Amino acid sequence: MDLTKFIWTREPERYEIKQDTIEIVTKPHTDLWQRTYYHFQNDNAPVFQMETEEKYFSFTVKTEFGESHHRFDQCGIVMYLDSENWLKGSIEYENEEYQHLGSVVTNNGYSDWATTKIAASVKAMWYRFSRREDDYCIECSSDGIIFSQMRICHMQRGDGRIRFGIYACSPEDSSFKAVFSEMQIGECQWKAHDGQQPD
């Protein structure tokens, strides 16, 4: 991908962009979350994104996080429109036994969090982010070949020009290096629904 098309929202203090990889060293107490359950608003995680008006596409990226070690350390894909409208998919470290593979969708200032437990030994994951107009799909893969659905969602402000890309953060008193590679954008891999017809 042409990384010159990407721009930072909240540029991290420590990062390196190479020809094929991006490395971000997270800063403690950085996060993305809005209101729900915890009643706080955290909006200071760095995100690196490009813009598009393309209505149908898929974006894939490999994430490596061998150094993540503290609760909620995370890195993954993101579509950050503004502080109250965004989505993300990632693995959030929990403890030495397990992590949370999941996604957060935030519409009009309220976040949700959908997760499943996976082994703490997992230190790499591919993600695929797909758009069909103003609906979106997040998938994950352990090998970059076979992807499994994590989430289908609607973004209330996701029908025009959008920004999407990668992010990394450490919500608590922690820091780690996140490595992103194998970034690709192409034809939408999330196929049109072929079951019940629309009303």
Cα 119 to chain centroid, rounded:
19
Give me the number of domains the chain comprises.
Answer: 1
Q: Is residue 2 part of a domain?
A: no
Residues in the chain with pLDDT values less than 70:
none
| CB contact at 8 A, 82 and 69 | no
**DSSP conformation letters of 14-28:** EEEE-SSEEEEE--B
CA distance 126 to 123: 11
- Specify the pLDDT at position 187: 98
Q: Is residue 5 part of a domain?
A: no
Residue 38: helix, strand or coil by DSSP? coil
- Specify the pLDDT at position 62: 98
Please report, for the domain that includes residue 108, its CATH number.
2.60.120.200
Distances (CA, A) of 20 to 8, 95, 183: 17, 31, 8
Q: Is residue 113 part of a domain?
A: yes
Q: Is residue 13 part of a domain?
A: no
Domain that includes residue 113, residue range: 22-186
Q: Is residue 193 part of a domain?
A: no
Q: Is residue 15 part of a domain?
A: no
Q: Is residue 28 part of a domain?
A: yes
Residue 3: helix, strand or coil by DSSP? helix
- Specify the pLDDT at position 197: 80
- Specify the pLDDT at position 125: 98
Q: Is residue 48 part of a domain?
A: yes
